[in-house]
Structure 1
Amino acid sequence: MKRRQTPSNGTMFLLLGFSDLSLAAQTSLFVFFLLSYLFAVIGNGLIMLVVTFSPRLNSPMYFFLTVLSFTEILSISSTAPKALQGFLKAGRTISLIGCATQFSVFIAAVNCESSILTVMAYDRYMAICQPLRYTSVMTVSVCWKLTMIAWIFAFGNAVIGFSVLFNLPFCESILIAHFFCDVLPVMSLACGNTFFLEVFQLIMSVTLIMSTFTLIICSYVRILTSIFLLPSAESRHKAFSTCGSHLVSVIIFFGSAMFVHFHLGNPLSPYNDRMVALSYCVIIPTINPLIYSLKNNEMKEAIWKLTLKIVALHM
């Protein structure tokens, strides 16, 4: 019979990370994590800096982009540093408080990202389908209120998950077969039958994903309908260009989320689970700066001007 232990502040877990892989594979992954983390922080930080100090980018679309960039930094910062420590044997342990904090921050950041992507879709809908009402509806006050609602919802969801998961009685095993404190690896340490908890987690995750994704789809149906009714090819191209980056982000984010959560009832192997986790923990925060800068002429121009100003100040 499995022995139970009540979680306490002194409880320590051991993140196995990628310790079962060869030294060459671990070295490659360490370099991947390090470069991805640096690029994500620098890239998303640069977007926040450029939007803040560029008057031309003073619009709701770029305001929400800075919020999205902040959530990306928060998301990858909650997992990557500990994963990097995990490649060193001495850095694989994590306390109960540390595990709970990592779990809560990551869940909050991911939930907020899904909400902000939904708000960005609504912003594009207003700009393209209701252009005469856009400036009166999408005011600074409204943008801040939508952002606060997204964060309150995100942290509320994280608190619920934290309360349920970390009040479970854990068995003697302290080995987490992952590189961070994700839901299923931590849940697998619980004693007793967790079937109903897993079903609850599946319902909550799928409901969140599908509700936000459905709202985005509805927005884009209206957006695309309006775009195709525009009289000239030039105006249609301009309208498409304002939505392209956001649409790519939506496809990558929700594609990864659906793949992960629709496998909850049919778990992947620990190795495949960790590989899939890389997509939403590391890859998405890393590539988002590229998505929103490479094909955005306004952003590229603003980055170039800011760079020239910084160089001029140091000459």
Structure 2
Amino acid sequence: MQLIVVSGFLGSGKTTLLLALARELCRDGQRKVAVIENEVGAIGIDDALVADAGLPVREIYSGCICCSLRLDLIRTLLDLEREHAPDVVLLEPSGVASPAQVLNGLEGYGGEIDRRLAINVVDASRFHRIADLSIPLVRDGIQIADAIVVTKTDLVTPEELNAVLARIGEARPDLAPLPLAATDPEALAKLAKGVLSTLPEPAAPTAEPVEEDDGPIPAVSAHDQDVTFSAPVDRAQLADLLTTLQSRLVKDGCSLIGHLKAILKSPGGGYLFASVTALDEPPQTKGRLPGKATSGRLTINAIVYGIDAPTVERIIEEAVKSWDQAAIG
């Protein structure tokens, strides 16, 4: 069994790349692929997107794999090996988990792992701001990576992109980052194929990182509730909810959005998904609900900086209540 860790800071595009890698791995029908999603908070969103792609998925909640959940990770791998016998497991740690400690945490795994590889995803549009926060997992992710993918290059100028690549190059002069612009399916598939073809044989186990300050601590909030609506809800309405959350977070002192995600799922099938990774960007949306749907389950996950968790929870509750009354009725 091969294990590929797809790491990166919150909102960098890990899940999008993971799904592209999974499609490429499954293309010839010769490999069985499974996915492990580590979510911060008690409610998952990314796992629903992965499951929608038809892949076996397991979730690990509440914390980061690198700390108290190492045993859960090992148990999850053993369960996957027993139930599905995958050839490849794609593991997406949360955007606040150290990939170096994730790999080291597998030392107690009793199953067979032939290769352990790490892909780090870097958001070009936010890289300097995030790197300047001196968050160890951002630096560690680049240091241990077997491949580095730089996403959202279409959101920066050529000069800004060169500055990002130069800064990455200072840390890893031995590795050429792979740039990715918009999430064009063909470009994404080509990049995924390139990543998989250039991955090296696994290096020796990474030394356990020296204990150090984890940097700024984010506020984490998860909101989940049933909603009903008298008319079809579309992507624009869900995007409006996130736009409202953005403005209220800014008003209350939020300095950085790690990620802000919302998914509305219908009992009869279908979903709407919206996400933002910056205070000043419009939400990205996808999915659809069946026209006859009159109810659903709304889940919102937020990981933000510069504001405390109770304030984030209050903002979400108030925004959802207003949206519920205005858009759903």
TM-score category of the 2 structures, normalised to the smaller one = under 0.3
Query: What is the TM-score normalised by the length of structure 1?
Result: 0.24
Structure richer in strand, relative to its length: 2
Structure richer in helix, relative to its length: 1
Flag the structure with larger Rg: 1
Query: What is the TM-score normalised by the length of structure 2?
Result: 0.23
